[in-house]
């Protein structure tokens, strides 16, 4: 390998623990991860943290092998500082600090939400977007100006991601429910190519907390 260094990113905010790679030119590569799958209900933070701890070493070696790298090729360790589930975040931070110390490379804490947005901004090339941020427990309108983000508004009851999780549990859909709901919706649209609201009775106001 050349003298240019790669950056490893660690995701541990909720049900998934993963390592990602960014090459010396700033190009991201596919992550390597594993997701805890509860037998029923949603995520239990302590169980998810135990899962992350158990898989961390294996996933680290797998992500290096995916690009035929060694630890000598790594120039920095980045990790999600939050928001997320506390026990899960602590595992990610502990792994990140350990790697940073052992490899003697910089440790970079990253805001989970900003990272989502920055990846999208990098891919589409926009400078100062106004955007709708929908991820997990977040449903927000956010603007970027002069390198800073400001939340202009957000849901007053429940994030769309959490709403889908609650709906899935109520309908007996196993975790994670989002992909199953998406498939069911796509199937319904395919079977009903010209849907209308006729005959569908809805309350005057519908809030996520009512689900």
Q: Which residues of 16-32 are buried (b: 16+ CB within 10 A; e: fewer)?
A: bbbbbbbeeeeeeeebb
- Is 147 within 8 Å of 139 (Cβ atoms)? no
> Using CB atoms within 10 A of its CB, is residue 80 exposed (0-12), middle (13-18) or buried (19+)?
buried
Encode pLDDT of 30-56 as tens digits. Answer: 999 999 988 777 789 999 999 999 999
In this predicted structure, what is the pLDDT of residue 203?
A: 58
Are 80 and 12 in contact by the 8 Å Cβ rule? The answer is yes
pLDDT value of position 202: 61
Compute the distance between CA of residue 45 and CA of residue 51 in angstroms, rounded to an integer. Answer: 10
Q: Is the pTM of this model over 0.95?
A: no
If phi > 0 it is left, if psi is from -120 to 50 it is alpha, else beta; for residue 104 that is left
Mean pLDDT of all residues in 171-187:
90
Among 31-40, 63-72, 184-193, the range of highest mean pLDDT: 63-72
Which domains occur in the chain, in start order? 6-115 (3.30.420.40)
Residues in Cβ contact with 64 at an 8 Å cutoff, skipping those fewer than 6 apart: 70, 71, 73
């Amino acid at each position: 390998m050349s003298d240019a260094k790669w950056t490893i990113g660690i995701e541990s905010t909720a049900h998934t623990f993963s390592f990602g790679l960014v090459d010396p030119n700033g190009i991201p590569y596919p992550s390597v991860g594993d997701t805890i799958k509860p037998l029923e209900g949603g995520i239990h933070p302590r169980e998810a943290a135990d899962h992350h701890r158990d898989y961390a070493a294996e996933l680290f070696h797998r992500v290096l092998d995916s690009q035929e790298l060694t630890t000598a090729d790594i120039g920095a360790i980045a990790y999600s500082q939050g928001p997320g589930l506390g026990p899960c975040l602590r595992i990610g931070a502990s792994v990140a600090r350990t790697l940073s110390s052992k490899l003697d490379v910089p440790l970079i804490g990253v805001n989970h939400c900003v990272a989502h947005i920055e990846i999208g901004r990098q891919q589409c090339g926009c400078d100062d977007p106004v955007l709708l941020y929908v991820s997990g427990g977040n449903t927000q309108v956010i603007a970027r100006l002069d390198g800073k983000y400001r939340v202009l508004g957000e849901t007053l009851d429940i994030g769309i991601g959490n709403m889908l999780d609650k709906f899935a549990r109520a309908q007996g859909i196993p975790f994670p429910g989002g992909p199953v709901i998406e498939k069911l919706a796509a199937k319904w649209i395919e079977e009903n190519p010209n849907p209308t609201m006729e005959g569908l009775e809805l309350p005057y106001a519908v809030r996520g907390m009512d689900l």
